Chain A
Amino acid sequence: MTMKNEVMGVYAVWLREFKRFYRDRGNLLGSVARPLMWFLIIGGGLGAAGQQATGGFSYFTFIAPGIIGMTVLFTSLFQGVSVIWDREFGFLKEMLVAPISRVSIVIGKALGGATSSLLQSLLIIGVAYAVGVTMPIAGALAMLPLIVVISVGFTALGLTIASFMDTMEGFNVIMNFIVMPMFLLSGALFPIAATGGLMATAVYLDPMTYGVEALRYAAIGVSSVSPVVSLAVVFAFTAAMSVVATVAFSRRK
Protein backbone atom coordinates (compact mmCIF):
# COMPACT_ATOMS: atom_id res chain seq x y z
CA MET A 1 0.00 0.00 0.00
CA THR A 2 1.58 3.19 -1.11
CA MET A 3 1.72 6.44 0.81
CA LYS A 4 -0.26 8.23 -1.88
CA ASN A 5 -3.12 5.76 -1.56
CA GLU A 6 -3.17 6.18 2.20
CA VAL A 7 -3.29 9.97 1.88
CA MET A 8 -6.14 9.65 -0.61
CA GLY A 9 -7.86 7.27 1.78
CA VAL A 10 -7.58 9.77 4.64
CA TYR A 11 -8.95 12.44 2.34
CA ALA A 12 -11.88 10.24 1.28
CA VAL A 13 -12.85 9.44 4.88
CA TRP A 14 -12.46 13.09 5.91
CA LEU A 15 -14.46 14.36 2.92
CA ARG A 16 -17.34 12.06 3.77
CA GLU A 17 -17.42 13.28 7.39
CA PHE A 18 -17.30 16.88 6.20
CA LYS A 19 -20.12 16.41 3.69
CA ARG A 20 -22.30 14.69 6.23
CA PHE A 21 -21.58 17.49 8.69
CA TYR A 22 -22.45 20.45 6.52
CA ARG A 23 -25.41 18.68 4.95
CA ASP A 24 -26.98 18.14 8.34
CA ARG A 25 -28.71 21.54 8.62
CA GLY A 26 -30.47 20.64 11.84
CA ASN A 27 -27.16 19.85 13.45
CA LEU A 28 -25.60 23.08 12.18
CA LEU A 29 -28.51 25.10 13.50
CA GLY A 30 -28.29 23.24 16.79
CA SER A 31 -24.61 24.00 17.06
CA VAL A 32 -25.49 27.69 17.19
CA ALA A 33 -28.74 27.40 19.13
CA ARG A 34 -27.38 25.14 21.86
CA PRO A 35 -24.50 27.40 22.97
CA LEU A 36 -26.80 30.39 22.66
CA MET A 37 -29.14 28.71 25.14
CA TRP A 38 -26.24 27.94 27.45
CA PHE A 39 -25.17 31.55 27.33
CA LEU A 40 -28.63 32.97 27.89
CA ILE A 41 -30.01 30.48 30.40
CA ILE A 42 -27.01 29.21 32.34
CA GLY A 43 -24.96 32.34 31.81
CA GLY A 44 -27.85 34.63 32.56
CA GLY A 45 -29.13 32.56 35.49
CA LEU A 46 -25.89 31.70 37.26
CA GLY A 47 -24.33 35.03 36.37
CA ALA A 48 -27.22 36.79 38.08
CA ALA A 49 -26.86 34.52 41.12
CA GLY A 50 -23.65 36.26 41.99
CA GLN A 51 -20.23 37.03 40.67
CA GLN A 52 -17.95 34.16 41.59
CA ALA A 53 -14.21 33.98 41.49
CA THR A 54 -14.07 34.39 37.72
CA GLY A 55 -10.92 36.46 37.62
CA GLY A 56 -12.73 39.73 37.24
CA PHE A 57 -14.40 38.71 33.98
CA SER A 58 -18.13 38.66 33.40
CA TYR A 59 -19.68 35.22 33.81
CA PHE A 60 -20.51 35.22 30.09
CA THR A 61 -16.87 35.75 29.24
CA PHE A 62 -15.78 33.17 31.81
CA ILE A 63 -17.98 30.39 30.42
CA ALA A 64 -17.38 31.18 26.72
CA PRO A 65 -14.27 28.95 26.47
CA GLY A 66 -16.14 26.34 28.52
CA ILE A 67 -19.03 26.33 26.08
CA ILE A 68 -16.63 26.02 23.19
CA GLY A 69 -14.97 23.15 25.07
CA MET A 70 -18.38 21.54 25.53
CA THR A 71 -19.10 21.76 21.82
CA VAL A 72 -15.71 20.30 20.96
CA LEU A 73 -16.25 17.45 23.44
CA PHE A 74 -19.75 16.59 22.19
CA THR A 75 -19.02 16.99 18.50
CA SER A 76 -15.79 15.00 18.59
CA LEU A 77 -17.04 12.16 20.75
CA PHE A 78 -20.14 11.75 18.63
CA GLN A 79 -18.16 11.87 15.44
CA GLY A 80 -15.97 9.07 16.81
CA VAL A 81 -18.91 7.08 18.09
CA SER A 82 -20.64 7.54 14.71
CA VAL A 83 -18.65 4.48 13.60
CA ILE A 84 -21.39 2.50 15.35
CA TRP A 85 -23.88 4.05 12.93
CA ASP A 86 -21.56 3.31 10.05
CA ARG A 87 -21.47 -0.28 11.18
CA GLU A 88 -25.21 -0.46 11.72
CA PHE A 89 -26.06 1.04 8.35
CA GLY A 90 -23.35 -0.91 6.58
CA PHE A 91 -21.04 1.77 5.28
CA LEU A 92 -18.23 0.72 7.61
CA LYS A 93 -17.72 -2.40 5.49
CA GLU A 94 -17.07 -0.30 2.43
CA MET A 95 -14.25 1.44 4.29
CA LEU A 96 -12.92 -1.72 5.91
CA VAL A 97 -12.47 -3.62 2.63
CA ALA A 98 -10.91 -0.67 0.81
CA PRO A 99 -7.19 -1.02 0.09
CA ILE A 100 -6.20 1.45 2.81
CA SER A 101 -4.97 0.78 6.32
CA ARG A 102 -7.15 1.13 9.40
CA VAL A 103 -4.80 3.88 10.56
CA SER A 104 -5.86 6.01 7.61
CA ILE A 105 -9.52 5.50 8.52
CA VAL A 106 -8.79 6.58 12.09
CA ILE A 107 -6.86 9.65 10.89
CA GLY A 108 -9.61 10.57 8.42
CA LYS A 109 -12.26 10.27 11.13
CA ALA A 110 -10.16 12.30 13.60
CA LEU A 111 -9.59 15.06 11.07
CA GLY A 112 -13.30 14.99 10.26
CA GLY A 113 -14.09 15.46 13.96
CA ALA A 114 -11.55 18.29 14.18
CA THR A 115 -13.02 20.04 11.15
CA SER A 116 -16.56 19.86 12.50
CA SER A 117 -15.40 21.08 15.92
CA LEU A 118 -13.47 23.94 14.40
CA LEU A 119 -16.37 25.14 12.24
CA GLN A 120 -18.82 24.92 15.13
CA SER A 121 -16.41 26.74 17.40
CA LEU A 122 -16.10 29.57 14.89
CA LEU A 123 -19.87 29.90 14.90
CA ILE A 124 -19.94 29.92 18.69
CA ILE A 125 -17.21 32.56 18.86
CA GLY A 126 -19.51 34.66 16.68
CA VAL A 127 -22.41 33.99 19.03
CA ALA A 128 -20.21 34.81 22.02
CA TYR A 129 -19.30 38.22 20.65
CA ALA A 130 -22.96 38.78 19.81
CA VAL A 131 -24.07 38.20 23.42
CA GLY A 132 -21.42 40.55 24.75
CA VAL A 133 -18.48 38.33 25.64
CA THR A 134 -15.35 40.44 25.97
CA MET A 135 -12.55 38.30 24.61
CA PRO A 136 -9.62 39.65 22.57
CA ILE A 137 -9.59 38.54 18.93
CA ALA A 138 -6.07 37.18 19.46
CA GLY A 139 -7.46 35.06 22.30
CA ALA A 140 -10.20 33.67 20.11
CA LEU A 141 -7.66 32.81 17.41
CA ALA A 142 -5.32 31.22 19.94
CA MET A 143 -8.06 28.75 20.84
CA LEU A 144 -8.29 27.37 17.30
CA PRO A 145 -5.18 25.14 17.25
CA LEU A 146 -6.08 23.90 20.73
CA ILE A 147 -9.55 23.01 19.51
CA VAL A 148 -8.01 20.83 16.81
CA VAL A 149 -5.79 18.97 19.27
CA ILE A 150 -8.53 18.46 21.85
CA SER A 151 -10.95 17.36 19.17
CA VAL A 152 -8.61 14.71 17.77
CA GLY A 153 -8.23 13.28 21.27
CA PHE A 154 -11.96 13.02 21.91
CA THR A 155 -12.76 11.72 18.43
CA ALA A 156 -10.21 9.00 19.14
CA LEU A 157 -11.91 8.30 22.48
CA GLY A 158 -15.24 8.01 20.63
CA LEU A 159 -13.69 5.63 18.09
CA THR A 160 -12.27 3.51 20.89
CA ILE A 161 -15.64 3.27 22.60
CA ALA A 162 -17.29 2.44 19.27
CA SER A 163 -14.75 -0.32 18.62
CA PHE A 164 -15.91 -2.10 21.74
CA MET A 165 -19.61 -1.50 21.25
CA ASP A 166 -21.52 -3.64 18.81
CA THR A 167 -24.91 -2.01 18.99
CA MET A 168 -26.39 1.42 19.45
CA GLU A 169 -28.02 0.32 22.68
CA GLY A 170 -25.05 1.35 24.78
CA PHE A 171 -25.27 4.85 23.44
CA ASN A 172 -27.30 6.33 26.27
CA VAL A 173 -24.90 4.79 28.74
CA ILE A 174 -22.03 6.62 27.05
CA MET A 175 -24.01 9.81 27.05
CA ASN A 176 -24.96 9.62 30.72
CA PHE A 177 -21.84 8.14 32.24
CA ILE A 178 -19.04 9.52 30.08
CA VAL A 179 -19.96 12.64 28.16
CA MET A 180 -22.11 14.49 30.69
CA PRO A 181 -19.79 13.90 33.70
CA MET A 182 -16.79 14.85 31.59
CA PHE A 183 -18.46 18.09 30.65
CA LEU A 184 -19.95 18.94 34.06
CA LEU A 185 -16.74 18.20 35.95
CA SER A 186 -14.53 20.08 33.53
CA GLY A 187 -14.97 23.50 35.04
CA ALA A 188 -16.61 24.77 31.89
CA LEU A 189 -19.26 26.48 34.00
CA PHE A 190 -17.50 27.12 37.32
CA PRO A 191 -14.02 27.97 38.58
CA ILE A 192 -12.46 24.67 39.60
CA ALA A 193 -10.38 26.38 42.29
CA ALA A 194 -13.59 26.71 44.26
CA THR A 195 -14.06 22.92 44.49
CA GLY A 196 -12.69 20.68 47.21
CA GLY A 197 -12.65 17.14 48.54
CA LEU A 198 -13.91 14.28 46.38
CA MET A 199 -15.32 16.70 43.85
CA ALA A 200 -11.89 18.25 43.33
CA THR A 201 -10.38 14.81 42.79
CA ALA A 202 -12.99 14.03 40.15
CA VAL A 203 -12.41 17.41 38.51
CA TYR A 204 -8.67 16.84 38.24
CA LEU A 205 -9.12 13.30 36.92
CA ASP A 206 -11.31 14.55 34.08
CA PRO A 207 -9.14 15.08 30.98
CA MET A 208 -11.64 17.65 29.74
CA THR A 209 -10.73 19.89 32.70
CA TYR A 210 -7.33 20.53 31.14
CA GLY A 211 -8.90 21.18 27.75
CA VAL A 212 -11.19 23.81 29.21
CA GLU A 213 -8.38 25.32 31.29
CA ALA A 214 -6.13 25.54 28.24
CA LEU A 215 -8.90 27.09 26.15
CA ARG A 216 -9.71 29.61 28.85
CA TYR A 217 -6.08 30.57 29.26
CA ALA A 218 -5.74 31.00 25.50
CA ALA A 219 -8.91 33.09 25.29
CA ILE A 220 -8.74 35.38 28.29
CA GLY A 221 -5.46 34.59 30.00
CA VAL A 222 -6.82 33.13 33.23
CA SER A 223 -6.72 29.54 34.50
CA SER A 224 -6.60 27.60 37.75
CA VAL A 225 -4.22 24.99 36.38
CA SER A 226 -0.89 26.17 35.02
CA PRO A 227 -1.14 26.48 31.22
CA VAL A 228 1.97 24.33 30.85
CA VAL A 229 0.34 21.48 32.75
CA SER A 230 -2.93 21.91 30.83
CA LEU A 231 -1.15 21.82 27.50
CA ALA A 232 0.94 18.81 28.50
CA VAL A 233 -2.15 16.88 29.61
CA VAL A 234 -4.09 17.85 26.46
CA PHE A 235 -1.30 16.69 24.15
CA ALA A 236 -0.60 13.54 26.17
CA PHE A 237 -4.30 12.64 26.19
CA THR A 238 -4.64 13.14 22.44
CA ALA A 239 -1.49 11.15 21.70
CA ALA A 240 -2.51 8.30 23.99
CA MET A 241 -6.08 8.15 22.70
CA SER A 242 -4.89 8.17 19.10
CA VAL A 243 -2.72 5.13 19.76
CA VAL A 244 -5.47 3.34 21.69
CA ALA A 245 -8.07 4.11 19.00
CA THR A 246 -5.79 2.85 16.23
CA VAL A 247 -5.09 -0.38 18.08
CA ALA A 248 -8.73 -0.91 19.03
CA PHE A 249 -9.97 -0.15 15.55
CA SER A 250 -7.36 -2.29 13.79
CA ARG A 251 -8.25 -5.54 15.49
CA ARG A 252 -8.93 -8.04 12.75
CA LYS A 253 -11.25 -10.89 13.55
Chain B
Amino acid sequence: MVRVVFLSENDGAIIQTSGLTKKYGDFAAVDGVDLSIKPGEIFGLLGPNGAGKTTLISMLCTTVMPSSGSASINSFDVVARPGDVRRNIGIVFQEQSLDDRLTGRENLELHATLYGLDAATASQRIASVLDLVELKDKADALVRTYSGGMRRRLEIGRGLVHYPKVLFLDEPTIGLDPQTREHIWAYVKDLAKREQITILMTTHYMEEAEMLCTRIAIIDHGKIIALGTPDELKSMLGGETVVLKLRDADTPAVREKVQATFPDAKLFDGSMVLSVKAAEKEISGVLEQARSAGIDVLETSMHRPTLNDVFLKLTGREIRDEKAGTADAMRAFGRMHRH
Protein backbone atom coordinates (compact mmCIF):
# COMPACT_ATOMS: atom_id res chain seq x y z
CA MET B 1 0.00 0.00 0.00
CA VAL B 2 2.70 2.42 1.04
CA ARG B 3 4.67 1.38 -2.00
CA VAL B 4 1.82 2.25 -4.36
CA VAL B 5 1.46 5.70 -2.87
CA PHE B 6 5.20 6.16 -3.09
CA LEU B 7 5.23 5.24 -6.78
CA SER B 8 2.35 7.47 -7.67
CA GLU B 9 4.08 10.36 -5.93
CA ASN B 10 7.20 9.63 -7.90
CA ASP B 11 5.33 9.78 -11.11
CA GLY B 12 6.47 12.58 -13.35
CA ALA B 13 9.14 13.95 -10.98
CA ILE B 14 12.23 15.16 -12.81
CA ILE B 15 14.33 15.56 -9.68
CA GLN B 16 13.87 12.93 -7.01
CA THR B 17 15.84 12.44 -3.82
CA SER B 18 15.26 10.01 -1.03
CA GLY B 19 17.08 10.19 2.28
CA LEU B 20 19.93 11.96 0.53
CA THR B 21 22.78 12.46 2.99
CA LYS B 22 26.35 13.73 2.85
CA LYS B 23 28.58 13.39 5.86
CA TYR B 24 32.01 14.83 6.40
CA GLY B 25 33.26 12.88 9.38
CA ASP B 26 30.57 13.25 12.02
CA PHE B 27 29.16 16.38 10.45
CA ALA B 28 26.12 15.91 8.22
CA ALA B 29 26.22 18.68 5.62
CA VAL B 30 23.05 17.27 4.07
CA ASP B 31 20.90 15.12 6.29
CA GLY B 32 18.18 12.84 4.88
CA VAL B 33 16.69 15.11 2.23
CA ASP B 34 13.56 13.93 0.39
CA LEU B 35 12.56 15.99 -2.61
CA SER B 36 10.25 15.47 -5.53
CA ILE B 37 10.34 18.24 -8.11
CA LYS B 38 8.11 18.30 -11.15
CA PRO B 39 9.01 19.42 -14.66
CA GLY B 40 8.67 23.17 -15.19
CA GLU B 41 8.98 24.11 -11.54
CA ILE B 42 11.26 26.86 -10.31
CA PHE B 43 12.20 25.26 -7.06
CA GLY B 44 14.09 27.26 -4.45
CA LEU B 45 16.39 26.02 -1.74
CA LEU B 46 16.42 28.72 0.87
CA GLY B 47 18.77 28.74 3.79
CA PRO B 48 21.67 30.54 5.43
CA ASN B 49 25.27 30.03 4.35
CA GLY B 50 26.49 26.63 5.43
CA ALA B 51 22.99 25.15 5.54
CA GLY B 52 23.96 22.50 3.00
CA LYS B 53 22.44 23.98 -0.16
CA THR B 54 25.59 23.81 -2.27
CA THR B 55 26.44 20.31 -1.06
CA LEU B 56 22.94 19.17 -1.98
CA ILE B 57 23.26 20.66 -5.46
CA SER B 58 26.74 19.21 -5.87
CA MET B 59 25.38 15.73 -5.21
CA LEU B 60 22.63 16.26 -7.78
CA CYS B 61 25.30 17.48 -10.24
CA THR B 62 27.36 14.30 -9.61
CA THR B 63 30.43 16.17 -8.36
CA VAL B 64 29.99 15.09 -4.75
CA MET B 65 29.21 11.48 -3.84
CA PRO B 66 26.31 10.95 -1.43
CA SER B 67 27.16 9.17 1.82
CA SER B 68 23.75 7.51 1.79
CA GLY B 69 20.32 7.84 0.25
CA SER B 70 19.67 8.25 -3.45
CA ALA B 71 18.96 10.91 -6.04
CA SER B 72 17.95 10.89 -9.66
CA ILE B 73 17.58 13.45 -12.42
CA ASN B 74 15.22 12.66 -15.27
CA SER B 75 15.17 9.14 -13.76
CA PHE B 76 18.97 8.70 -14.08
CA ASP B 77 20.61 7.81 -10.79
CA VAL B 78 23.38 10.30 -9.87
CA VAL B 79 25.75 7.61 -8.66
CA ALA B 80 25.13 4.90 -11.25
CA ARG B 81 24.65 7.07 -14.36
CA PRO B 82 26.63 10.29 -13.83
CA GLY B 83 27.23 10.76 -17.57
CA ASP B 84 23.52 10.68 -18.38
CA VAL B 85 22.76 12.99 -15.47
CA ARG B 86 25.39 15.46 -16.68
CA ARG B 87 23.98 15.55 -20.18
CA ASN B 88 20.58 16.40 -18.73
CA ILE B 89 21.63 19.26 -16.51
CA GLY B 90 23.02 22.76 -16.88
CA ILE B 91 24.79 24.39 -13.98
CA VAL B 92 25.45 27.97 -13.07
CA PHE B 93 27.87 27.87 -10.17
CA GLN B 94 27.98 30.23 -7.26
CA GLU B 95 31.56 31.14 -8.15
CA GLN B 96 32.38 32.27 -11.65
CA SER B 97 33.52 29.44 -13.93
CA LEU B 98 34.25 31.10 -17.26
CA ASP B 99 37.61 31.20 -19.00
CA ASP B 100 38.20 34.93 -19.11
CA ARG B 101 41.07 34.62 -21.60
CA LEU B 102 38.57 33.40 -24.16
CA THR B 103 35.74 35.32 -25.77
CA GLY B 104 32.13 34.80 -24.79
CA ARG B 105 31.49 32.88 -27.99
CA GLU B 106 34.56 30.70 -27.44
CA ASN B 107 33.34 29.81 -23.97
CA LEU B 108 30.06 28.69 -25.45
CA GLU B 109 31.79 26.78 -28.27
CA LEU B 110 33.98 25.01 -25.75
CA HIS B 111 30.92 24.05 -23.77
CA ALA B 112 29.14 22.75 -26.87
CA THR B 113 32.15 20.58 -27.74
CA LEU B 114 32.44 19.27 -24.18
CA TYR B 115 28.79 18.23 -24.43
CA GLY B 116 29.30 16.53 -27.79
CA LEU B 117 27.26 18.84 -30.01
CA ASP B 118 28.16 18.82 -33.69
CA ALA B 119 29.38 22.06 -35.22
CA ALA B 120 26.16 22.96 -37.05
CA THR B 121 23.91 22.39 -34.03
CA ALA B 122 26.40 24.19 -31.82
CA SER B 123 26.61 27.35 -33.90
CA GLN B 124 22.84 27.55 -34.25
CA ARG B 125 22.24 27.12 -30.51
CA ILE B 126 25.05 29.48 -29.58
CA ALA B 127 23.47 32.15 -31.77
CA SER B 128 20.10 31.72 -30.10
CA VAL B 129 21.59 31.61 -26.60
CA LEU B 130 23.56 34.81 -27.23
CA ASP B 131 20.32 36.34 -28.34
CA LEU B 132 18.51 35.15 -25.25
CA VAL B 133 21.06 36.57 -22.82
CA GLU B 134 21.53 39.73 -24.92
CA LEU B 135 25.24 39.31 -25.46
CA LYS B 136 25.32 39.26 -29.23
CA ASP B 137 27.26 42.50 -29.50
CA LYS B 138 29.87 41.44 -26.96
CA ALA B 139 30.15 37.80 -28.08
CA ASP B 140 33.58 38.20 -29.62
CA ALA B 141 35.11 40.26 -26.83
CA LEU B 142 37.30 38.56 -24.23
CA VAL B 143 35.32 37.65 -21.11
CA ARG B 144 37.82 39.57 -18.96
CA THR B 145 36.31 42.76 -20.39
CA TYR B 146 32.78 41.75 -19.26
CA SER B 147 30.98 43.24 -16.27
CA GLY B 148 29.78 41.03 -13.43
CA GLY B 149 26.23 40.98 -14.76
CA MET B 150 27.37 40.09 -18.29
CA ARG B 151 29.44 37.22 -16.96
CA ARG B 152 26.48 35.90 -15.04
CA ARG B 153 24.27 36.11 -18.12
CA LEU B 154 26.90 34.35 -20.20
CA GLU B 155 27.07 31.59 -17.61
CA ILE B 156 23.31 31.18 -17.60
CA GLY B 157 23.38 31.08 -21.39
CA ARG B 158 26.19 28.53 -21.36
CA GLY B 159 24.17 26.31 -19.05
CA LEU B 160 21.48 26.19 -21.74
CA VAL B 161 23.57 25.44 -24.84
CA HIS B 162 23.10 21.68 -24.57
CA TYR B 163 19.33 21.94 -23.92
CA PRO B 164 19.33 20.62 -20.37
CA LYS B 165 16.14 19.36 -18.78
CA VAL B 166 17.17 20.83 -15.45
CA LEU B 167 19.07 24.03 -14.80
CA PHE B 168 20.83 24.46 -11.47
CA LEU B 169 21.40 28.01 -10.32
CA ASP B 170 23.56 28.23 -7.23
CA GLU B 171 23.09 31.71 -5.75
CA PRO B 172 22.61 33.21 -9.22
CA THR B 173 22.67 36.83 -8.11
CA ILE B 174 25.16 36.78 -5.27
CA GLY B 175 27.40 39.83 -5.26
CA LEU B 176 25.47 41.58 -8.03
CA ASP B 177 23.99 45.06 -7.78
CA PRO B 178 20.20 45.33 -7.31
CA GLN B 179 19.58 46.39 -10.90
CA THR B 180 21.47 43.47 -12.39
CA ARG B 181 19.79 41.19 -9.91
CA GLU B 182 16.33 42.17 -11.11
CA HIS B 183 17.51 41.76 -14.68
CA ILE B 184 18.63 38.19 -13.94
CA TRP B 185 15.34 37.44 -12.21
CA ALA B 186 13.44 38.51 -15.29
CA TYR B 187 15.61 36.18 -17.40
CA VAL B 188 15.10 33.22 -15.16
CA LYS B 189 11.34 33.65 -15.08
CA ASP B 190 11.15 34.08 -18.81
CA LEU B 191 13.46 31.14 -19.35
CA ALA B 192 11.45 28.66 -17.34
CA LYS B 193 8.36 29.66 -19.26
CA ARG B 194 9.86 29.77 -22.75
CA GLU B 195 12.28 26.84 -22.65
CA GLN B 196 10.10 24.57 -20.53
CA ILE B 197 12.92 23.63 -18.24
CA THR B 198 12.98 22.88 -14.56
CA ILE B 199 15.05 25.19 -12.42
CA LEU B 200 16.50 24.31 -9.06
CA MET B 201 18.05 27.33 -7.43
CA THR B 202 19.66 28.11 -4.12
CA THR B 203 19.51 31.50 -2.58
CA HIS B 204 19.65 33.24 0.70
CA TYR B 205 17.87 36.29 -0.62
CA MET B 206 14.25 36.23 0.50
CA GLU B 207 12.99 38.55 -2.22
CA GLU B 208 14.66 36.34 -4.80
CA ALA B 209 12.95 33.21 -3.57
CA GLU B 210 9.62 35.00 -3.29
CA MET B 211 9.87 36.59 -6.74
CA LEU B 212 10.89 33.51 -8.66
CA CYS B 213 10.04 30.25 -7.01
CA THR B 214 6.94 28.17 -7.49
CA ARG B 215 7.93 26.14 -4.44
CA ILE B 216 10.50 26.65 -1.75
CA ALA B 217 12.26 24.30 0.62
CA ILE B 218 13.75 25.95 3.67
CA ILE B 219 16.92 24.15 4.58
CA ASP B 220 18.84 24.51 7.81
CA HIS B 221 21.61 22.34 9.28
CA GLY B 222 21.31 20.04 6.26
CA LYS B 223 17.62 19.30 6.81
CA ILE B 224 14.50 20.50 5.05
CA ILE B 225 12.45 22.15 7.76
CA ALA B 226 9.59 23.47 5.61
CA LEU B 227 8.41 23.03 2.05
CA GLY B 228 5.65 24.68 0.06
CA THR B 229 4.67 27.57 -2.18
CA PRO B 230 5.69 31.00 -0.91
CA ASP B 231 2.05 31.61 0.05
CA GLU B 232 1.73 28.30 1.85
CA LEU B 233 4.87 29.00 3.83
CA LYS B 234 3.66 32.44 4.77
CA SER B 235 0.24 31.17 5.75
CA MET B 236 2.00 29.07 8.38
CA LEU B 237 2.19 32.35 10.26
CA GLY B 238 -1.56 32.89 9.98
CA GLY B 239 -1.73 34.88 6.78
CA GLU B 240 -2.08 38.62 6.56
CA THR B 241 -3.65 40.90 9.12
CA VAL B 242 -5.50 44.18 9.13
CA VAL B 243 -5.02 46.25 12.27
CA LEU B 244 -7.48 49.05 13.11
CA LYS B 245 -6.86 51.42 15.98
CA LEU B 246 -10.28 52.28 17.43
CA ARG B 247 -11.63 55.19 19.43
CA ASP B 248 -12.79 54.06 22.89
CA ALA B 249 -11.81 50.48 22.14
CA ASP B 250 -12.02 49.56 25.81
CA THR B 251 -15.62 50.53 26.27
CA PRO B 252 -18.18 47.70 26.36
CA ALA B 253 -20.27 49.44 23.68
CA VAL B 254 -17.46 49.42 21.13
CA ARG B 255 -16.45 45.92 22.11
CA GLU B 256 -19.95 44.68 21.50
CA LYS B 257 -20.14 46.35 18.09
CA VAL B 258 -16.81 44.83 17.07
CA GLN B 259 -17.89 41.40 18.19
CA ALA B 260 -21.17 41.66 16.28
CA THR B 261 -19.54 42.88 13.05
CA PHE B 262 -16.24 40.95 13.08
CA PRO B 263 -16.75 37.75 15.11
CA ASP B 264 -13.15 36.60 14.35
CA ALA B 265 -11.44 39.83 15.32
CA LYS B 266 -9.29 40.16 18.39
CA LEU B 267 -9.13 43.30 20.46
CA PHE B 268 -5.68 44.07 21.71
CA ASP B 269 -4.28 47.21 23.28
CA GLY B 270 -6.86 49.56 21.80
CA SER B 271 -6.66 47.95 18.38
CA MET B 272 -8.70 45.42 16.50
CA VAL B 273 -6.65 42.70 14.76
CA LEU B 274 -8.30 40.83 11.91
CA SER B 275 -6.80 37.93 9.95
CA VAL B 276 -7.54 38.16 6.24
CA LYS B 277 -6.38 36.51 3.05
CA ALA B 278 -5.26 39.58 1.14
CA ALA B 279 -5.02 42.64 3.34
CA GLU B 280 -4.60 45.14 0.53
CA LYS B 281 -7.75 44.04 -1.23
CA GLU B 282 -9.92 43.59 1.81
CA ILE B 283 -9.03 46.61 3.88
CA SER B 284 -11.51 48.95 2.20
CA GLY B 285 -14.35 46.46 2.74
CA VAL B 286 -13.37 46.09 6.38
CA LEU B 287 -13.39 49.85 6.83
CA GLU B 288 -16.78 50.08 5.14
CA GLN B 289 -18.23 47.48 7.49
CA ALA B 290 -16.75 49.24 10.49
CA ARG B 291 -18.23 52.55 9.46
CA SER B 292 -21.72 51.18 8.91
CA ALA B 293 -21.54 49.48 12.33
CA GLY B 294 -20.65 52.81 13.88
CA ILE B 295 -17.12 51.84 14.87
CA ASP B 296 -14.78 54.82 14.89
CA VAL B 297 -11.44 54.02 13.24
CA LEU B 298 -8.45 56.20 14.14
CA GLU B 299 -5.63 54.46 12.26
CA THR B 300 -5.25 51.55 9.90
CA SER B 301 -2.29 49.33 9.17
CA MET B 302 -1.63 46.03 7.47
CA HIS B 303 0.89 43.33 8.17
CA ARG B 304 1.94 40.73 5.62
CA PRO B 305 4.25 38.00 6.85
CA THR B 306 7.42 37.62 4.78
CA LEU B 307 9.52 34.55 4.15
CA ASN B 308 11.93 36.14 6.55
CA ASP B 309 9.25 35.89 9.26
CA VAL B 310 8.74 32.25 8.33
CA PHE B 311 12.43 31.56 8.55
CA LEU B 312 12.68 33.43 11.82
CA LYS B 313 9.84 31.42 13.27
CA LEU B 314 11.23 28.08 12.10
CA THR B 315 14.85 28.57 13.05
CA GLY B 316 14.70 31.28 15.67
CA ARG B 317 17.18 33.44 13.76
CA GLU B 318 17.54 35.73 10.78
CA ILE B 319 18.65 34.13 7.53
CA ARG B 320 21.41 36.64 6.98
CA ASP B 321 23.54 37.05 10.02
CA GLU B 322 26.34 39.57 10.08
CA LYS B 323 28.97 36.95 9.35
CA ALA B 324 27.30 35.77 6.17
CA GLY B 325 27.04 39.31 4.92
CA THR B 326 30.72 39.89 5.42
CA ALA B 327 31.65 36.64 3.70
CA ASP B 328 29.55 37.56 0.68
CA ALA B 329 31.04 40.99 0.49
CA MET B 330 34.53 39.52 0.62
CA ARG B 331 33.71 36.97 -2.03
CA ALA B 332 32.34 39.65 -4.29
CA PHE B 333 35.39 41.75 -3.63
CA GLY B 334 37.67 38.83 -4.42
CA ARG B 335 35.84 38.25 -7.67
CA MET B 336 36.28 41.84 -8.70
CA HIS B 337 39.96 42.07 -7.92
CA ARG B 338 41.17 38.70 -8.93
CA HIS B 339 42.34 39.65 -12.37
The answer to whether A and B come from one shared complex is: yes
Assuming the contacts A97-B63, A99-B87, asked whether A16 and B102 have C-beta atoms less than 8 A apart, the reply is: yes
Q: Which of A50-58, A87-95, A231-239 contacts B (4 or more CB under 8 A)?
A: A87-95
- Which of A15, A23, A92, A96 is in CB contact (< 8 Å) with B101? A23
Cβ-Cβ contact count across A and B, 8 Å cutoff: 77
Scoring A4, A19, A89 by chain B CB atoms within 10 A of each residue's CB, the highest score goes to A89
Residues of B99-155 contacting chain A, CB below 8 A: 99-102, 106, 110-111, 113-116
Residues of A14-51 contacting chain B, CB below 8 A: 15-16, 19-20, 23-24
Q: State the main secondary structure of chain A at its contact with B.
A: helix
Q: Roughly how many angstroms separate A240 CA and B87 CA in the complex, as a whole number?
A: 32
Contacts of A225 in B (CB 8 A): none
- Which of B89, B93, B102, B110 is in CB contact (< 8 Å) with A90? B93
Contacts of A92 in B (CB 8 A): 97
Residues of B56-100 contacting chain A, CB below 8 A: 61-65, 83-84, 86-87, 89, 91, 93, 95-100
Q: In this complex, what residue of B is CB-closest to A2?
A: B116
Contact status A97-B86, CB under 8 Å? yes
Q: State the main secondary structure of chain B at its contact with A.
A: loop
- The size of the chain A interface, using a CB distance under 8 A, is 29
Q: Does A98 contact B (CB under 8 A)?
A: yes
16 contacts between A and B (CB under 8 A): A9-B114, A12-B110, A13-B114, A16-B99, A19-B102, A20-B102, A23-B101, A89-B338, A90-B95, A93-B63, A94-B158, A97-B86, A98-B111, A99-B86, A100-B114, A253-B65
Contacts A23-B101, A98-B86 given; 13 further ones with Cβ under 8 A? A2-B116, A8-B116, A13-B114, A15-B110, A90-B95, A90-B98, A91-B97, A92-B97, A93-B63, A94-B98, A94-B114, A95-B114, A253-B63
Chain B interface (Cβ within 8 Å of chain A)?
A: 61-65, 83-84, 86-87, 89, 91, 93, 95-102, 106, 110-111, 113-116, 158, 338
